[in-house]
Structure 1
Amino acid sequence: MKALFLSAALLIASLSHAQTQLHGLVTDKAGQAIPGANVYLKDNFEGTSTDSLGRFRLRTQITGPHTLVVSSVGYTSQERSLRLGTDTTALRLTLPDVANLLGGVTISAGLFEAGDGTRMTALKFMDIVTTAGAGADITSVMQNLPGTARVGEQEGLFVRGGAASETNTLIDGMIVQNPFYSSIPDVAQRGRFEPAMFKGTAFSTGGYSAQYGQALSSVLLLDTQDKVNDANKLTFDANLANAALSYTHHGSITGRVSYTNMQPYFALMRQTRSWAKAPEGLDASITVKEKLSATSSLKLYAMSSHSNSTVNLPTYERPAEVYPLRLRNQNYFTTNSYQRLFDEGKWELKAGFSYSHNYDYINVAETKSLDRYDRRLQYRTVLTRYLKGNHVLLAGAEVHHIHITNVLVTAKYSLRDSYKAAFAEGEFHLGLKLAARVGVRAEQAGVLGRANAAPRLSVAYQVGAHSQVSVAAGQFYQTPDKNYIYRNQKLNFEQANHLILNFQHTHNDRTFRVEGYYKQYAQLVREQGLVGFDPDPYRLVTAATDNSGYGYARGLDVFFRDQKTIRHGDFWVSYSLLDTKRLAGNFEALATPTYASRHNVSLVYKQFLPKLGVSVGGTHRYASGRTYFAHEATEFLGDKLPAYHNLSLSLSKVLFVKRSYVVLYTTVDNVLGTRNVFGYRYSTDGKSRTQVQPPAYRTVFAGVSISLSK
């Protein structure tokens, strides 16, 4: 942490007072903002880049006649002759598309974004915080997109028949070891990171780039905000469960402290669980974003999180009999990235370093310890070459050092892994309407003593001025769960092969896409020699294991979003059809996993009333009943839960005071109070069962956010 503060101090000290200030807006020919565009003075390379709204601000001591250059990948560079020396110059610059893009054919199969990473992603910060029922949580919003399943008793993204462990979360290309707060049994937790950190998200539902690995199903890519030259800002947030204070210095350094105590909220809102100590926590973070020069930048982020809670859990053996489970968590995470452009933007170097450290101290019935500890150290470097004709070549490598330990009463299990990967990928625009991305990723896991090579291919063809079809195929590998490796380090990688066909039409703030897919699982871990099935997700693995498991997932995803038809309105509809089965773990037969729903529907609507400063929103989610294990059933995992329904509403009001503002907000989750059931837990003899319920059937939340700036 001391090194982080020192780096920030050195960066701020390097800034100097400017005599001339240039500011303006960079857009495409349709008037859409272009974020991340390079803006610099020719022959001096003193410059900056545009923010998420296409705005830029450049201070310089240079005077006299000079040429301003604006460039961005996928667009034709533009130059503007200026005479520097005036106090302020406001500019509006338009970049035309590269001629052979014909409106922007992009690789979109399996990747949920509206364009490539240098343009606009499908979901931005405002999409996250204004979606009703999501609680400003990134993962909760992603569950409204096609391909995902709604699972309420555990956190994570369940994508196209895959478990939560098959999805990785990455920040600036670096894997996040613990993206969610530590949870207790049958209670899902929200993500650790504030959506304001990120300029956008790219959510892959399959067939993703060779740059990423160790995920059989999908990756959630989060890119942090770049530096924006802005005024100092102090923000205070408060509600019944949390109070937070953050300060931003000139868009470069942000510090945040947050205290959470759920006791006042639980006193007002009835809970389905008994808490001996309501969850309490303290979080702190610091973010540094700095332009080191016209062609290089540095981002530093560090956070610390501490929490403590005690819940009374049912024994499932006798009615009303409970036992206390205490969970104390300590989490530390930092990620740092460096970016530099060479040779007038033809070469780009990205290098990153991240470190995470997580402790879970778990005490059961005041006597038994079930502690968990994990640590990950990661290094990553990517070199990219931008060629004429919008062709791109890249190559990179990454190294992970992982240490995991579990304490189960008197037994202790531990493993260390040195995971290495190298990858190469090229994106080519072949002719006027065809684009292709070809890549390969090689991995080596020290704990297994094995390696693999995974080819990836994506092709997109433009079939109209605003429409295209895409196809993606590839192999994906993942190291088996730690609970299996503790006992058997001779296992092989688990494998999934993806095939995806996509059609997408994007025009006039409307997006329609339909995607069919087939995913084949191989080399899944199976437990052999067991008698009967144990549905306990927290059980200890004791059986012999091998890689004889297999399975499949196939289905259809449909998405439509319209931000044009209704003035100041925005709505989207998503639907997923899923058919999936697998024979893995301690399954007795090929069956649909308990986390997979055949039908998932989400309806999201938002209405903005600018004159009143009011935003209203509603979200309705539906999921057909998931499978569950019933002791009395004749068919393995043949029984179904009731269908899931949830209607949520939100309302917010913005009050502006000069350059400061106050936001008042309230949300109601599950307005109708639907008694959703997430599963059943049985007694040992199978004669009695207990429902797995949400923490509360209906939640009402209200709060205020006050932002002060000069």
Structure 2
Amino acid sequence: MIGGKITDKKGNPLVGANVFLKGTYDGSTTDAAGMFSFKTSEKDTATISASYVGFELSEKKIRINENTANLIFKLDELANELNTVVITAGAFEASDEKRMAMLKPLDIVTTAGAAADITGAMQFLPGAQRVGEQEGLFVRGGSGQETKVVIDGMIVQNPFFSSLPDVQQRGRFNPFMFKGTSFSTGGYSAQYGQALSSVLLLNTTDKANNNGLGISLNMANAGVNYDYAFKNQSVSAVAYYGNLKPLFAVVKQNVEWLHEPEFKGSSLTYRLKTSKNGVLKVYGMYSDSHLSMNTKDPSVEAGTMRLNLKNRNAFMTSTLTDSWKDGKWSLNSGFSYSRNTDDMTFDAVNFGRFDERTQARVVLTRLLTGNNTILFGGEAHAINLQNRVDGTTYKLKDRYAAAFAESEIYITRQLAGRIGMRSEYSSVINRLNWAPRLSFALKSGRFSQFSLAAGQFYQNPDYRYLYLNKNLNYERADHLILNFQIIKNQRTFRIETFYKNYAQLVREFTGQPYDADPYRFPWGTTNNGGKGYARGFDFFWRDQKTVKNLDYWVTYSFVDSKRLFQQFDTEATPTFISNHNVSLITKKWFEKIKTNLSMTYAFTSGRPYFNPNNDEFLKDKTPAVHNVSIQASKLHAIKGNLVIFYASVDNILNTKNVFTYRYTPDGKSRYAVGPQSYRSFFVGMQIMLSKKAKVSKDDF
């Protein structure tokens, strides 16, 4: 006779738990007191197994004799999103059902004011700042260069379309490429580097939706896309042509276009299931564009200079993921290549740019007992850069390598820690760094937790400085983040406070008065004597439950930051800093008419700008920016084919927002830099020529 008792870790009996001798039919289930007993004819030794839904399997080797009637099993709860802490300080997870989806692909394209752009949507999350006249993600006092965009673990060299004077540029990638998004506002994993402030992690889809042929038509471009899935492989193809002349003809522009932006491109994605758990993904894209404009330049008599730009961009990435030994080991590897060429002239003077990056990456992860993990990996990059300025060509080559290791430890179901170390070497400055990272999370209730993250983060100086001085050191930022959040019943409350210390920032000494031209090429002597700080807090509330078919979220971010860097003679708040950022996003689904209506209100407090007539450096501030945008999307079926109609209006109140001011060299006059257009509208449609294509309100 074999018998005993099965309980949880607290000693509470588990009713109906299964217990049996492995390799036999001998076994039983527990009664109301957690007791079990059964007979066996086995002899000598055996393995007895106890299991219960929601708990980890427990096994013991026993010697079958007269003393096997008092066996005790205490089972551990299985790790899940309700009973296990999740380390989240400094990161927003999207499209991860275990942590609650924040922003799905259709969620991004139906957010009013985001212009169907991934980075545009991220600007409405806490920690991000809105800087309207230049591209990039500005996070918690960081510049746009301090954030890296990563696709399937691979750094994207050119995530935005080519920079233009005082014109914000979109991201290059379609939101529907990705199944998940993690927007880190600091304290991120040791797996990633070369970013002082933030990383935006994008994970591509593993399989096409088999939607067949699709056609997109709008006021800016026309395109076709094709998705098809086989048993173990799938393919997605996209081709498009765009010309903004028709749109600009009806939407008044604040930019004097001589040749409106014209662009075309294509992409191809192939996915192959290589084994039971293995997936190979290959993605390639190519685009080229052409435009011409008169850009304002107060330093010349005419007040404007003609800019011509032709851009060619190519990006290819392939990744292989797999796991074996029942998931105890997993592999994540990748290879990518990117190449970008800007043939650019200012009044016939060549200012061309060229860059390319080749990279490889391997990460191995080992799953340990108790849901603990350890990973280690490395990456290598070959980077080539060129810049032509006034007839002089500057060249730069960097061979960058990194190695990292990180372990996630669950001390209890309520307390977890992540400890990591990253080391990087850059050949262009011939320096090595060591960057420790750590995070801890404590579960304070079934649905709430506290998280803490800290670490050091390094980044190479701006390549424009390295053209002239290769003896510079890494720039550094130290992060400290404390987070509290509650996720319950499709509602999220989150508050996070942070402190960043900047060190080894590049300073430039010209011996001349401060030059506010953001596009100037640095020529002065440089060193790493700069410093700075950023501190503040973020608030986030999202409710998808209270009102049926209504989803809304509110964010508020406060940041206080000062730096001594670049041409600064004294510590001051940089021009890309706004102390207060507020977003209110609402989305309502109307079931009867299959329509989603979205409205966004965004507020950005005034930013510093350089006034040569003020003895106090960067003490003048622009007016606050207000923007109200609306968007509507309607689902419709035409002969069994799904059609999505959409329309949006940006800055519906036609507020004359100002982003910054620029002065003439004598300081006697200035002009305002604002949006490309004060109020704009956009309409279009997506046709899916397949009866298999499905979209529901849950996708919005």
Report the counterpart of residue 502 of structure 2 in structure 1.
Answer: 521
Which amino acid is 2:415 matched to?
A: L
Distance 1:118 1:530, change over 3 A: farther
1:507 aligns with 2:482: no
SS at 1:389 equivalent: helix
Question: 2: distance between equivalents of 1:339 and 1:306?
Answer: 31
Which amino acid in the other structure matches residue 213 of structure 1? Answer: G
Residues 265-274 or 466-475, more deviating: 265-274
Equivalents in 1 of 2:342, 2:555: separation in Å? Answer: 37
Q: Deviations over 1:400-428 (max 9, x none)?
A: 00000000121111100000000000001
1:552–1:432 CA distance, 2 compared to 1 (3 A): same
The equivalent position to 2:139 in structure 1, one of 148, 151, 159, is 159
Q: Which runs of 5+ in 1 are unaligned?
A: 1-73, 78-95
Alpha-carbon contact 2:436-2:455 (below 8 Å) kept: yes
Report how far residue 541 of structure 1 moved: 1.0
Of 192-201 and 525-534, deviating more is 525-534
| Aligned twin of 1:276 | 258
Residue pair 1:200, 1:222 contacting (<8 A) in 2 also: yes
Aligned to 1:346: 328
Residues 1:181 and 1:99: Cα distance change in structure 2 (over 3 Å): closer
Larger CA deviation: 529-538 vs 624-633: 529-538
Aligned residue among 221, 232, 238 for 1:256: 238
Question: Do the aligned partners of 1:513 and 1:558 also contact (CA within 8 Å) in 2?
Answer: yes
Q: Select which of 90, 100, 113 maps to 1:133.
A: 113
- Which of the residues 181, 185, 193 maps onto 1:205? 185
Is 2:665 the partner of 1:680?
Answer: no
In structure 1, the partner of 2:342 is: 360
**Residue 105 (str. 1) matches residue 85 (str. 2):** yes
Q: Tell me which amino acid in the other structure corresponds to 1:159.
A: V
The aligned amino acid for 2:445 is G
1:635 matched to which residue of 2?
Answer: 616
- Distance between the aligned counterparts of 2:228 and 2:128, measured in 1? 38
Q: Tell me which residue corresponds to 1:308.
A: 290
Percent pairwise identity = 51
Native 8 Å contact 2:93 2:183 kept in 1: yes
Structure 1 residue 102 displacement after superposition: 5.0
CA distance in 2, matches of 1:158, 1:100: 34
Deviation of 1:691 after TM superposition, in Å, equals 1.0
Is 1:532–1:588's contact at 8 Å kept on the other side of the alignment? no
The letter of the residue matching 2:420 is G
- Alpha-carbon separation, structure 1, partners of 2:642 and 2:618: 53
Q: Name the amino acid aligned to 1:396.
A: G
The match for 1:387 is 368
C-alpha deviation, 1:196, in angstroms: 0.2
CA contact (8 A) 2:609 2:619 kept: yes
Partner of 2:274, secondary structure, is: strand
Q: Which residue of 1 aligns with 2:582?
A: 601
Aligned partner of 2:535 in structure 1 is 554
Letter in 2 for 1:680: Y
Is residue 468 of structure 2 the alignment partner of residue 468 of structure 1?
no
Q: Give the 3-state SS of the residue equivalent to 1:293 in structure 2.
A: coil
Aligned: 1:178 with 2:151: no
Q: TM-score, normalised by structure 2?
A: 0.86
SS of equivalent residue, structure 1 residue 113? strand
Using the TM superposition, name which of 599-608 and 97-106 deviates more.
97-106
Amino acid at match of 2:226: Y
SS in 1 for 2:292: strand
Change (3 A) 1:630 1:131: same
Q: Match of 2:171?
A: 191
Note if contact 1:106-1:116 (Cα within 8 Å) is conserved in structure 2: no
1:335 aligns to what?
A: 317
Aligned to 1:142: 122
The answer on whether the counterparts of 2:424 and 2:433 sit within 8 Å (CA) in structure 1 is yes
For the structure 1 residues 267 and 695, does the alpha-carbon distance in structure 2 shift closer, same or farther, using more than 3 Å as the test? same
Which residue is 1:695 aligned to?
676
Query: Residue 530 of structure 1 contacts residue 586 of structure 1 at CA under 8 Å; is this kept in 2?
Result: no
Per-residue deviation, 1:360:
0.3
The answer as to whether partners of 1:102 and 1:433 remain within 8 angstroms in 2 is: no
Secondary structure, in 3 states, of the residue corresponding to 1:631? coil
The residue that corresponds to 2:439 in the other structure is 458
Change (3 A) 1:98 1:660: farther
* Cα drift, residue 231 of structure 1: 3.6
Q: Contact conserved, 2:212 with 2:228, CA < 8 A, in 1? A: yes
Separation (CA, whole Å) in 2 of partners of 1:659 and 1:525: 60
Distance in 1 between the 2:527 and 2:203 partners? 38
Match runs of 1:210-249 below 5 Å: 210-228=190-208, 230-249=209-228
Aligned residue for 1:264, secondary structure, equals: helix
Q: Which TM-score applies when normalising by structure 1?
A: 0.85
Give distance in 1, aligned partners of 2:306 and 2:80.
65
Counterpart of 2:411 in structure 1 is: 430
1:294 matched to 2:302: no
Q: For residues 116 and 315 of structure 1, what CA distance do their matches in structure 2 show? A: 47
Quote the offset at 1:531 in angstroms.
2.5
Q: Describe the shift of the 1:646–1:102 C-alpha distance in structure 2 as closer, same or farther (beyond 3 A).
A: closer
Given that 2:385 and 2:395 are in contact with CA atoms closer than 8 Å, whether structure 1 keeps it comes out as yes
CA, structure 1 residues 121+654, in 2 after alignment: closer, same or farther (shift >3 Å)? closer
Corresponding letter in the other structure for 1:370: F
Range moving further from structure 2, 656-665 or 369-378: 656-665
Q: CA deviation at 1:637?
A: 0.3
CA contact (8 A) 1:100 1:433 kept: no
Residues 250/652 of structure 1: CA separation in 2 closer, same or farther (3 Å cut): same
Name the aligned partner's letter for residue 261 of structure 1: N
CA contact (8 A) 2:94 2:181 kept: no
The code of the aligned residue for 1:238 comes to: L
SS at match of 1:248: strand
Q: How much does 1:530 deviate?
A: 2.6
- Return the alpha-carbon distance in structure 2 between the equivalents of residues 133 and 113 of structure 1: 21
Cα deviation, 1:561-604, whole Å, max 9, x if unaligned, reads 00111101110000011100000000121000101100100000
Post-superposition offset of 1:116: 7.0
Match of 2:397 in 1: 416
CA distance in 1, matches of 2:376, 2:96: 18
Give runs of ≥4 in structure 1 deviating > 4 Å: 74-77, 99-102, 114-121, 317-320
Q: How far, CA to CA, are the matches of 1:205 and 1:622 in structure 2?
A: 20
1:562-573 correspondence to structure 2 within 5 Å: 562-573=543-554
Aligned residues: 617
TM-superposition CA deviations, 1:168-216 (whole Å, max 9, x none): 0000000000000113100011000000000011000000000000000
For the residue of structure 1 that corresponds to 2:653, the secondary structure is coil
Secondary structure at the aligned position of 2:464 is classed as: helix
Tell me the equivalent position of 2:49.
none
Deviations 1:338-396 (A, max 9, x none): 0111111111011100100000000111x200000000000000000112211111000
Structure 1 residue aligned with 2:635: 654
Sort the Cα spacing of 1:592 and 1:394 in 2 relative to 1 into closer, same or farther, 3 A: same
Code of the residue aligned with 2:227 in structure 1: it is T
Going from structure 1 to structure 2, the CA distance change for 1:97 and 1:311 (only over 3 Å counts) comes to farther
Contact between 2:211 and 2:688, CA under 8 Å: does it hold in 1? no
> Could you tell me which amino acid in structure 2 is paired with residue 236 of structure 1?
I
Q: Partner amino acid for 2:228?
A: H
Kept after mapping to 1: 8 A contact 2:507/2:564: yes
- Once the two structures are TM-superposed, the CA of residue 323 in structure 1 deviates from its matched residue by 2.4
Q: For residues 55 and 253 of structure 2, what CA distance do their matches in structure 1 show?
A: 54
What code does the residue aligned with 2:494 have? R
